Amino acid sequence: PLDERHNLLQKYQDFPKGLLYGTLQLVYSSLEDDPSRICMFTYRPNENPPEHGKLHMLTTFTSQKDFIVQEFHPKTADGHKKAYKAHAEIYRNGTFHDTWVIFTDRKRCTVLRTPGYHDLCELFTAGARTSGSMK
């Protein structure tokens, strides 16, 4: 099998394309008692700054407000084409951590790995029940 960051997988590892469909909800986390669990991402590509937009995150991190909004600056991984942005920094438990997209189907499923935060692996999905609001 290929390493999860292998350049042959780059078209399946694009942050912006994995987040284009609005809201992603957490389905699975490899860290059972995560004090800073991201329950939901909402990607707003047209919000300032206009280059990439902003991520709105619903999180369980108790010393912050329920929603955290951060600027989104995805980066190209070494050896990947510039069109693909496989990693970004995401706020977790009081600090920013490098987070990698290890798979996205560009429709409903995105798998993230955060090596510096307990080697966390998370599965997020989009769908009918994730139309941009919590009910």
Say which residues have a Cβ less than 8 Å from residue 82's Cβ, sequence separation at least 6: 76
Residue 31 has pLDDT above 90, yes or no: yes
**Max avg pLDDT among 13-22, 90-99, 116-125:** 116-125
Sheet hosting strand 38-44, strand order edge to edge: 67-71, 54-59, 38-44, 23-29, 120-125, 109-114, 95-104, 87-92
Q: What is the pTM of this model?
A: 0.82
What would the pLDDT profile of 59-85 be if each residue is shown by its tens digit?
887 666 667 788 888 999 888 999 899
Beta bridge partners of 65: none
Handedness of CA 38, 127, 77, 47 (dihedral sign): negative
Residue 133 has pLDDT above 60, yes or no: no
Residue 28 has pLDDT above 70, yes or no: yes
Q: According to the model, what pLDDT value does residue 43 have?
A: 84
CA distance linking residue 65 with residue 60, whole number of Å: 9
CA distance linking residue 15 with residue 38, whole number of Å: 16
According to DSSP, residue 72 is labeled -
Output the average pLDDT for the chain.
83
- The pLDDT of 108-122, averaged and rounded, is 93
- The pLDDT of 10-38, averaged and rounded, is 86
Residue 94 has pLDDT above 50, yes or no: yes
Classify domain 7-125 at the CATH superfamily level. Calycin beta-barrel core domain (2.40.128.20)
Q: What are phi and psi of 124, to 5 degrees?
A: -115, 145
Say which residues have a Cβ less than 8 Å from residue 128's Cβ, sequence separation at least 6: none
At 12 the three-state DSSP class reads helix
Q: According to the model, what pLDDT value does residue 134 have?
A: 37
Q: According to the model, what pLDDT value does residue 132 have?
A: 46
Contact criterion met (CB below 8 Å) for 125 and 34: no
Q: Greater confidence, 45 or 128?
A: 45
